[in-house]
A and B are shown apart, each in its own frame.
Chain A
Amino acid sequence: MGKHASSGKYAIVGLGVVAGPQPDRSERMIAAEAARLAIADAGLTRADIGGAIDLRRTGGGGDRASYSDAFTRVLGIKNNFYFTCGRGGALAGLGMAATMSYLDRGIADYVVLMGAVTDWSQSQETRKKGFRGMAHAEKRGYWGKPLGDSRAVSHHSWMAARHMAVYGTTSAQLGAISVAERQWACMNPEAKMYGRPITVEDHQNSPLVAEPYHLLDMSQVSDGGIAFILTTADRAKDCAKPPVYVLGQGFGEVSADLWWEKKNFTHMAVEPAKKQAFGQADITLDDVDCAQLYDCFTAEVLFQLEDYGWCKKGEGGAFVADGNMAPGGSIPVNTGGGLLSCYHLGDLTGLAESVRQLRGEAGERQIEDCDIVLTTGHGGELVSPGMCSIHTCTLLGRHA
């Protein structure tokens, strides 16, 4: 087969991270700061940036509206294009795919992609008002909301429950995923849960939220921003940091398996995404040194370990309980602590960790001879009853 012509043609050359609570800051200032850090990290200036993509979990609205107060304008980037992009927890993968087309045609030499959230600060506000999460009363929206449907947590916990019913997976096995990610987080000073190790017993004793999910099955609610700079491989060589090459990208939608086929409750749309990305890069799963798998909840990690083929379908529970994804395991997963223990900035969390691993900047948790990283995103409520739909797979490498 051989590599696809696009493999290794583009690279990430800059990374900017604003982590931790940002209670007194607007989302757009966090966004602009992350972008400023990424530009500096690449050894570039604002004048080099030709375009910008604002990565969002939802299509629009919110604090950093795209009209008069884009982060690019706050920062002073004289860009040729700016738009928002995202689908649930799939942001960076989609933004990168769009960026490559602009780079390819010379519309921009360097593009900044940025995602920022103030979920944690906002949750503190709603908690003061006496509840958790949403308070919406609008008459439009998703099926099930008058029936107690709480979207992500309701739908994802069904999937975990279904996997348990079909394959006998246990809550304690899901707990092993939380524990492994916490072990990684304890080697990452940037992680929210740094210095706070947990055991499977702690997981089992944590409050039930949407059974089978305990509190420790759920990802963090975070503030922060992550930005990165993408350019072509020839320009990447002249940047300040070692380039991180894009070896392949693939996409899948669970909606391709129509929901009434009922196939989508124990797996993600990995199959097409894997085939495309690994085909472009011309590599196999054995070539992957570590994986940053989207982990809004624990079972999503389990599904992906099975769907990519690190273990057989239905055997993910035993696989994680044996420590395979933990430090020292056969496939290190979410080496920065992931969404469960580091911070939740969509698929940007895993992307930032991928860049650090491939640059050799991961400190105590650095994977030896880390050449290739697989990083995924997924999300987007699409069908009724709701499911997380898109799956994105991005393969990154130290060499083109």
Chain B
Amino acid sequence: MNINPQSYTVDLDWKKPYPSIDHDNEAFWDGLKEHKLLVWKCKQCGAVYWPKAYCQNHDNEPFAANCEWTEASGRGKIFAFNIHHWAFHPGFKEEVPYVYALIELDEGPLISSQLVGGDLPTDIHTVGQTVEIVYEDHPAQGFTLPKFRVVRE
């Protein structure tokens, strides 16, 4: 698959596990639908978290009201990755082998996702490749998945 645009639409029968959308991360998933990657930022000291958390640098307001969702750059670096050759869930049978990466966002937090596009890393001993978000829209399912692709500088 050669992913060039910033987003693409996949609207087939959903055969994979569903995302876990709850009160804590609803805004995050809504952001993805608008093609925004949101991270949780402390208004007091600027520290950034994902997923939602109380700020670790000082005492917090009730329910961490001193923090808010804010748009991230959508860029980061590979912290570690693996290549799944087996589909443990039948929904991934057509996709193996796929690269599943732990990504250190430029804002700091780690997030994990599948890498897409034609320029995938293959040497498991390497880290630090620059990646950027690609939004995979599933309008029939009502969600957008955040995937990433490698960016060559």
Residues of A within 8 A of B (CB): 130-150, 153-154, 157-159, 161-162, 164-166, 168, 207-213, 258-260, 262, 265, 384-385
Which residue on B lies nearest to A171, using beta carbons? Answer: B124
Establish whether residues A208 and B85, one from each chain, have CB atoms under 8 Å apart when the complex forms: yes
Establish whether residues B90 and A135, one from each chain, have CB atoms under 8 Å apart when the complex forms: yes
Contacts of A150 in B (CB 8 A): 84, 88-89
Which B43-82 residues sit within 8 Å CB-CB of chain A? 49, 51, 56, 79-82
Establish whether residues A139 and B87, one from each chain, have CB atoms under 8 Å apart when the complex forms: no
State whether the Cβ of B19 lies closer than 8 Å to any Cβ in chain A. yes
With A132-B88, A146-B16, A161-B124 already in contact, the answer to whether A260 and B109 are too (CB < 8 A) is yes
Establish whether residues B80 and A147, one from each chain, have CB atoms under 8 Å apart when the complex forms: no
Cα distance A5–B84 in the bound complex, in angstroms: 49
Establish whether residues B124 and A149, one from each chain, have CB atoms under 8 Å apart when the complex forms: no
Establish whether residues A154 and B79, one from each chain, have CB atoms under 8 Å apart when the complex forms: no
Proximity bits, B95-119, A CB within 8 Å = 1, else 0: 1011010101000111111100000
A-B pairs with beta carbons under 8 Å apart, 22 shown: A133-B89, A134-B88, A135-B90, A137-B17, A138-B18, A139-B21, A140-B20, A141-B17, A145-B89, A147-B112, A149-B112, A150-B88, A161-B125, A162-B127, A207-B86, A212-B124, A213-B82, A260-B49, A260-B56, A262-B104, A262-B110, A265-B79
With A146-B145, A147-B100, A165-B125 already in contact, the answer to whether A158 and B80 are too (CB < 8 A) is yes
Residues of B within 8 A of A (CB): 16-22, 49, 51, 56, 79-90, 92-93, 95, 97-98, 100, 102, 104, 108-114, 124-127, 145, 147
Establish whether residues A161 and B80, one from each chain, have CB atoms under 8 Å apart when the complex forms: yes
Cα distance A281–B106 in the bound complex, in angstroms: 45
Establish whether residues A209 and B126, one from each chain, have CB atoms under 8 Å apart when the complex forms: no
Cα distance A194–B33 in the bound complex, in angstroms: 53
Establish whether residues A148 and B51, one from each chain, have CB atoms under 8 Å apart when the complex forms: no
Contacts of A131 in B (CB 8 A): 87-90, 93
Which residue on B lies nearest to A158, using beta carbons? Answer: B80
Contacts of B16 in A (CB 8 A): 145-146
Which residue on A lies nearest to B47, using beta carbons? Answer: A260
Q: Which 5 A-B pairs have the closest CB atoms?
A: A211-B83, A145-B17, A385-B112, A133-B88, A162-B80
Contacts of A147 in B (CB 8 A): 100, 112-114, 145, 147
Contacts of B19 in A (CB 8 A): 139, 145-146
Cα distance A159–B102 in the bound complex, in angstroms: 10
Establish whether residues B127 and A165, one from each chain, have CB atoms under 8 Å apart when the complex forms: yes
